[in-house]
């Protein structure tokens, strides 16, 4: 039986080039339910009949699921079946388990739904059902499928409160001659990030804020160019690209740069490491877009917004939890939160957001390096400018402002437009940009980001 099962799995892997999640049958047998196009009914699933032998349905056409339906024939007693354990007083049953899995696009966790139908051919019975999840294998359920879970039956929730414990237990009553449906479902929720940060380059250094006034504190030269040199650039043009310059190349959905929302300073890149360990002892988390980062916009009051201008950024594939938050910019140093940020506590830009602007204590330090300095006039902390280049595909930033950044400036001085050597983000690679680099690399003793240290490798999780 095991040899035959492995053969079926191997054939489907070759034929479908899909990936699977291990599911536990009784007697310790493990099969794989493949992730593909979700069927609209049971007829779309493959099927095996477990009654002393394991068979693959010949008419299933392998529409993306291997053995999506697993069932028993009438058995005197079923103790454990397909991820479920029954109490001993439920006997004479036929059990069918249907598994639906929605594929997680670009590496996002899959979404599981399991339906169990218990048909009782004996006396009325009640007992406890316990749901277990396989915790071994490359695509094991414990690690690949997020919690919380809900248990429900016959179309109604049995337990409306999400649970995280495994195994989960629930009582059930099965009348004589009747079938009872119940199921378990994991709830996949994407975390939303609310954060604020000031970039040194476009910061309005001569603007004195009034107490309690956040103000429009960063220039919008990339959004509304003050320069003019036809046909390269017209005064008032937006030079911010509609496609992100960072590795995920997120498409804003706009046809022209001028369609980008008002008050957008530039793209920034969000990254995350687990808060369970110090950030130098962990690695960047792969997100639902298939990358370890997610692009969004920075508004001129310092708040992160999504591409449609809405406040907060919902990150696909990132579950609610505690993470070190990283914010990267193409010609500024990368900064990270001083402590893990619980995304569940980030709700709005009135009271519940992570504010990098208020003090050095909001930034993570490694060997006294955090890549920021304080603007004395407004007592705000700015992210250091002058670290480039970042070409979008091959990030070669050193995460410290140094001589090579001055050299990079010399190669492109005089150029107009959207360019990494335009450290002040004024749409012109000019002397102001060189002054910024010199200040941060020489006068202030070389500003560095924690990511400049090798301790922060590896870049991605295995």
Point out the domain boundary residue: 148, 167, 188.
188
Global confidence as pTM: 0.69
The residue with greater pLDDT, 349 or 80, is 349
Mean pLDDT for 49-57 is 35
d(CA 329, CA 323): 19
Retrieve residue 387's tokens.
């670290």
What is the rounded average pLDDT of the residues 275-299?
89
What does the alpha-carbon distance between residue 58 and residue 40 come to, in Å, rounded to a whole number? 19
Mean of pLDDT values over 42-59: 37
What's the whole-number mean pLDDT along residues 210-239?
A: 82
166-197 tens-digit pLDDT: 677 777 777 777 777 777 776 667 899 999 99
The residue from 169, 188, 207 where one domain ends is 188
Backbone angles phi, psi at 459, to 5 degrees: -75, -35
How much is the pLDDT for 266? 98
Question: How many domains is the chain partitioned into structurally?
Answer: 2
Q: Is 29 exposed, middle or buried (0-12, 13-18, 19+ CB in 10 A)?
A: middle
What pLDDT shows up at residue 56?
A: 35
Contact between residue 292 and residue 286 where contact means Cβ atoms under 8 Å apart: yes
The mean pLDDT of 379-389, rounded to a whole number, is 88
- 200 and 158 fall within a common domain: no
Contact by Cβ (8 Å): 81, 97 = yes
Query: Which among 215, 221, 214, 209 is positioned nearest to 376, based on CA atoms?
Result: 209
Q: What is the structure's pLDDT at 276?
A: 84
- Asked if residue 462 is part of any domain, the answer here is no
Residue 66 has pLDDT above 50, yes or no: no
Per-residue pLDDT, 257? 95
Asked, for residue 434, whether it belongs to a domain, the answer is yes
Residue 125's SS3 state is: strand
pLDDT value at residue 445: 66
Q: Are residues 184 and 206 part of one domain?
A: no
**Tens of pLDDT, residues 353-383:** 999 998 899 999 998 888 887 665 567 889 9
Mean local confidence (pLDDT), 12-20: 30
Chain-wide mean pLDDT for the chain? 74
* Rounded Cα gap, residues 190 and 338, in angstroms: 23
More confident residue, 24 or 141: 141
For residues 231 and 129, membership in a common domain is answered with no
Structural domain includes residue 327: yes
SS3 content of the chain, % helix, strand, coil (to 5): 15, 35, 50
Of the candidates 129, 159, 188, which is a domain's last residue?
A: 188
Asked whether the predicted pLDDT for residue 348 surpasses 60, the reply is yes
| Domain span at 33 | 2-188
Residues 233 and 225 sit within 8 Å (Cβ to Cβ): yes
Q: With contact defined as beta carbons under 8 Å apart, do 94 and 88 qualify?
A: no
In this predicted structure, which of 8-12, 139-143, 391-395, 451-455 has the lowest mean pLDDT?
Answer: 8-12
Helix (H, G, I), strand (E, B) or coil at 99: strand
157 vs 449 pLDDT, higher one: 449
* pLDDT of amino acid 240: 97
Say yes or no: 10 and 57 in one domain: yes
Q: What average pLDDT does this structure show over 43-63?
A: 35
Q: Which two tokens stand for residue 388?
A: 């480039």
pLDDT above 90: percentage of residues in the chain: 35
């Amino acid at each position: 039986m095991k040899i035959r099962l492995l053969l079926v799995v191997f054939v489907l892997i070759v034929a479908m080039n899909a990936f699977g999640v291990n599911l536990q049958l009784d007697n310790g047998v493990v099969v794989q339910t493949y992730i593909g196009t979700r069927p609209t009914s049971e007829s779309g699933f493959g099927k095996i009949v477990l009654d002393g032998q394991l068979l693959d349905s010949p008419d299933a056409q392998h529409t993306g699921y291997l053995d999506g339906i697993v069932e028993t024939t009438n058995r005197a007693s079923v103790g454990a079946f397909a991820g479920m354990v029954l109490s001993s007083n439920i006997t004479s049953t036929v059990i069918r388990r249907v598994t639906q899995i929605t594929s997680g696009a670009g590496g996002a966790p899959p979404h599981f739904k399991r339906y169990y139908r218990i048909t009782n051919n004996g006396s009325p019975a009640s007992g406890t059902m316990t749901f277990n999840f396989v915790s071994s294998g490359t695509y094991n359920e414990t690690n690949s499928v997020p919690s919380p879970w809900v248990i429900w039956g016959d179309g109604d929730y049995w337990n409306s409160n999400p649970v995280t414990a495994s195994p989960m237990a629930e009582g059930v009553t099965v009348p004589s001659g009747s079938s009872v449906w119940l199921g378990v479902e994991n709830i996949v929720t994407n975390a939303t990030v609310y954060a604020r940060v000031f970039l040194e380059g476009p910061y309005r250094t001569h603007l004195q804020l009034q107490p309690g006034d956040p103000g429009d504190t960063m220039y919008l030269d990339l959004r509304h160019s003050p320069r003019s040199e036809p046909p390269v650039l017209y005064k008032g043009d937006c030079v911010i690209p509609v496609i992100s310059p960072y590795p995920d190349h997120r498409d804003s959905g706009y046809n022209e740069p001028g369609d980008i929302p008002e008050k957008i300073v530039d793209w920034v890149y969000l990254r995350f490491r687990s808060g369970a360990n110090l950030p130098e002892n962990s690695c960047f988390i792969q997100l639902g877009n298939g990358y370890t980062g997610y692009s969004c916009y920075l508004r001129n009051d310092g708040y992160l917004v999504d591409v449609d201008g809405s406040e907060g950024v919902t990150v696909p594939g990132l579950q609610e939890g505690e993470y070190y938050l990283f914010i990267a910019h193409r010609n500024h140093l990368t900064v990270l939160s001083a402590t893990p940020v619980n995304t569940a506590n980030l709700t709005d830009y009135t009271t519940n957001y992570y504010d990098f602007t208020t003090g050095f204590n909001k930034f993570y330090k490694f060997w006294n390096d955090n890549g920021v300095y304080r603007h004395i006039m407004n007592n705000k902390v700015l992210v250091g400018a002058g670290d480039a280049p970042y070409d979008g595909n091959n990030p070669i930033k050193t995460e410290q402002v140094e001589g090579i950044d001055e050299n990079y400036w010399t190669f492109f001085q005089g150029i107009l437009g959207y360019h990494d050597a335009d450290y002040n983000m004024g749409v012109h690679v000019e002397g102001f940009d060189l002054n910024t680099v010199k200040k941060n690399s020489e006068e202030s003793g070389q500003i560095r980001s924690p990511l400049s240290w090798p301790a922060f490798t590896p870049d991605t999780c295995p």
